[in-house]
Structure 1
């Protein structure tokens, strides 16, 4: 479980829903923060995105709930890349969210691409970012596409 952990934190009161467990949108927030932390650690910070006028966007987010997460629990979120298209820079990431006792509570898969934030159109990443992309932890079922 300790591999590829890019977010650790406590579940806050504001993240709890009427059923007294973690609200659905908080899972997405935790995964987004884990992705951001991972990219930042590898050298792609928000300032780098702003400098190049490129940002990541999501097309799809799939969440499988496995166990409840409650108030004040500590969680860990892993990130792995599961698919990358070299030609058009589209990507897929898998996140696993673990409870403080090590039990997997959720699996989140996102599909996305990169957008030119000025033109508001999909774009490829700069060539100098490719070395960073290749440092992202890869899943055992990773698929690289060249078409």
Structure 2
């Protein structure tokens, strides 16, 4: 399993029912994606200097089990689908509680955006090569 984020559930992430609020799952997944990119050498500061940023077209959260206060979560990330050139991609995240139970699955579809032109863009060749080293799901599909 490729874990790219581990951390505690804090008070501000709880809802009125005293479990992890719905939007916190997406926040954990977003941080795990950033950590995954960083792990292979695609640094946020480099993307910023290139005027590129990841954007999401879709985010789906499937809840499996509750996560409570003071729990600790681990988030895995794997590429589940992408174009050969990496311009569009899908990532599956699995969020686990500290007892190892899968609490949620987060699926996102995204692409790279040129933040100056405000249009879809592509990673430069050097970063594209790094992108291809990300972990892939067992059911990975190339578009």
For the superposition of Structure 1 and Structure 2, which TM-score range results when normalised by the shorter chain? over 0.9
Distance in 2, matches of 1:4 and 1:70, equals 23
Length-normalised TM-score, structure 1? 0.94
Counterpart among 37, 40, 43 of residue 42 in structure 1? 40
Matched, 1:78 2:76: yes
Query: Aligned pairs, how many?
Result: 143
Distance in 1, matches of 2:58 and 2:47, equals 21
SS of aligned partner of 1:109: strand
Distance in 1, matches of 2:86 and 2:103, equals 33
Runs of 5+ in structure 2 lacking a partner?
A: none
Counterpart among 18, 22, 29 of residue 16 in structure 2? 18
Deviations 1:98-140 (A, max 9, x none): 0101010100000000000000101122111121111110000
5 Å matches for 1:97-112? 97-112=95-110
Counterpart of 1:8? 6
Shift of 1:18: 0.6
SS of aligned partner of 1:37: helix
SS of aligned partner of 1:26: helix
Deviations 1:70-124 (A, max 9, x none): 0100110000000111257100000000010101010000000000000010112
Distance in 1, matches of 2:60 and 2:83, equals 19
> Could you tell me whether the CA contact under 8 Å between 1:88 and 1:123 is conserved in 2?
no
Kindly report structure 1 stretches of 4+ aligned residues shifted beyond 3 Å: none
Going from structure 1 to structure 2, the CA distance change for 1:88 and 1:36 (only over 3 Å counts) comes to: closer
CA RMSD of aligned residues (A): 1.0
Counterpart of 2:29? 31
